[in-house]
Amino acid sequence: MAELITPAALWWAVIVSGLYHGLNPGMGWPLAVSAALMERKTSALPGALVALAVGHFIAMCAILLPFSLMVTLVYYEGQIRMGAGLLVIGLGIYLLINRRHPRFLARVPPSRLALWSFLAAMAHGAGLMLVPIFLGLCAPGTLDAGHQAAEDLMTNNVGMAFIVAAIHTAAMTFAGGLLAAVMYFWLGLKFLSRTWFNLDIVWALSLIAVGGFGIMTASHTTTV
């Protein structure tokens, strides 16, 4: 099992999760279409997508950076990954039970798409979904458990957090931007309102699946 979970597989998980987030309407691409149609300017579409990407990137960093600064990763990496997996599973179960969207998102004005994207990513657990994958990439391996090792690990992990957040956000923006462009240039907002698809249940189940994956890989790490 360990041989199958390579760094390359984890990087693909970062990219695929980004594409998945981008396809999810809950991450905001319909708002980009709406902004461009309301302003009647094609340039408003990429501008709105950039704003959504900035908010999403900040949310990913806000979740990943605290984990990257954990000195205890040197000593308890497997246990922390298990705890993160349980946390993600718990959020998935909560979203399965409570499917109402956070009301505060509706209070954010359309002109503040970056803020809306940040709050949406935090509320729906988009950043939390990345944590088990990120911790797998930050596994200390054979580092000696000492102060220098902890310092080196934190330095590397902070950089890794930004890289993971950037690649994930780029994949999300690509997928969401592609859908937004199709809707804006060919199908229109009326088609979008008729064919709106709700991924709430799929989103919650994917959180549970990612959390389970994190626990499975962490349990193997602690037993090897």
Q: What is the pLDDT of residues 130-184, one digit of tens each?
A: 888 888 787 655 444 444 444 555 567 788 889 999 999 999 999 999 999 988 8
What mean pLDDT, rounded, does the chain reach?
Answer: 80
Percent of all residues in the chain with a pLDDT value above 70, rounded to a whole number: 76
Q: Quote the CA–CA distance of 135 and 214 in Å, as a whole number.
A: 9
Name the E strands within the chain: none
Tell me which residue range forms the domain holding 59: 7-223
Contact between 82 and 215 (Cβ < 8 Å): yes
Q: What is the pLDDT of residue 102?
A: 66
Burial class of residue 173 in the structure, from the number of CB atoms within 10 Å of its CB (0-12 exposed, 13-18 middle, 19+ buried): buried
In a domain, 1, yes or no: no
Instruction: Please state which of the ranges 28-32, 123-127, 141-145 shows the lowest mean pLDDT.
Output: 141-145
Q: What is the pLDDT of residue 173?
A: 96
pLDDT bucket at 186, cuts 50 / 70 / 90: confident
Q: What is the pLDDT of residue 148?
A: 47
Q: What is the pLDDT of residue 156?
A: 73
- The total number of structural domains in the chain stands at 1
Mean pLDDT of 199-208: 82
Instruction: Please state which of the ranges 50-64, 68-82, 201-215 shows the lowest mean pLDDT.
Output: 68-82
Q: Quote the CA–CA distance of 155 and 208 in Å, as a whole number.
A: 30
* 195 vs 183, residue with greater confidence: 183
pLDDT bucket at 111, cuts 50 / 70 / 90: confident
Contact between 176 and 22 (Cβ < 8 Å): yes
In a domain, 193, yes or no: yes
* 57 vs 154, residue with greater confidence: 57
Answer yes or no: is pLDDT of 24 > 50.
yes
Q: What is the pLDDT of residue 127?
A: 87
In a domain, 2, yes or no: no
Q: What is the pLDDT of residue 190?
A: 66
